[in-house]
Amino acid sequence: MKKFVMAVGLATILAVSAFAATTTWQLDPMHTNAQFTVRHLGISNVQGEFTKISGTVMLDDQDVSKSSVSVTIDATSIDTRVSRRDDDLKSEHFLNVAQFPTITFQSTKVAKSGDGLKVTGNLTIRGVTKEVTLDVTGPTAPVKAMGGLRRGAAATVKINRQDFGVSADPGMVGDDVTIQIDLEMTAPAPAQ
């Protein structure tokens, strides 16, 4: 019995130490998306999403300040469920995806905040880069699934579209845009 307890204890220590150093996680594009909400005519909200996202999270569970996040959103994947509106948002009036096909975020600081994180970094939209801070819920504890390890997190931030040169249709389209990213990360399972 003692040997069994020692073996379980050793396995637990090894499992924890596997996450003691920084671990590289890839965003799972099938289980990750970015939604946004903006006011329309000051009377209602319009939602949309970007369906193509890639990125890498370097996560240090022991010292989150050593962590980093890099995300690329395919701006052409915008979907508001109205093709005419999507075409307008892709045009030079808004995102100008012909010239700026991606939206990127690169972290510069990661800090613990309550049960979650504050992730500060450079957000680039339409070729304009501004510092923003995302409020992050998570990351969850890793689970073994689908041939590897998986974790989830959710991040929110509110930006002013005018700050990024997206200024068409004032009064019709609100300036404040709330962004929420729901993500699932994958990493290879540690060797047994």
Beta strands 173-187 and 148-160 are antiparallel
The reported pLDDT for the residue numbered 112 is 95
Strand partners, 50: 34, 78
Strand partners, 86: none
Integer Cα distance of 75 and 65 in angstroms:
29
For residue 74, pLDDT over 80 is answered with yes
19 falls in which pLDDT band (50, 70, 90)?
A: very low
pLDDT tens for 122-149 read 999 999 999 999 999 999 999 998 889 9
pTM: 0.85
| Residue with token string 């569970």 | 61
For residue 4, pLDDT over 80 is answered with no
Residues 155/172, Cβ–Cβ less than 8 Å: no
What average pLDDT does the segment 64-84 reach?
A: 97
The reported pLDDT for the residue numbered 12 is 40
Residues 128/164, Cβ–Cβ less than 8 Å: yes
Query: Any idea where the domains of the chain sit in the sequence?
Result: 21-187
Which conformational region is residue 25 in: left (phi greater than 0), alpha (psi within -120 to 50 degrees), or beta?
A: beta
pLDDT tens for 93-115 read 999 999 999 999 999 999 999 98
Q: How many CA atoms lie within 13 A of 165 on its CB side?
A: 12
The reported pLDDT for the residue numbered 147 is 86
For residue 20, pLDDT over 60 is answered with no
For residue 166, pLDDT over 80 is answered with yes
Q: What is the CATH architecture assignment of 21-187?
A: Beta Barrel (2.40)
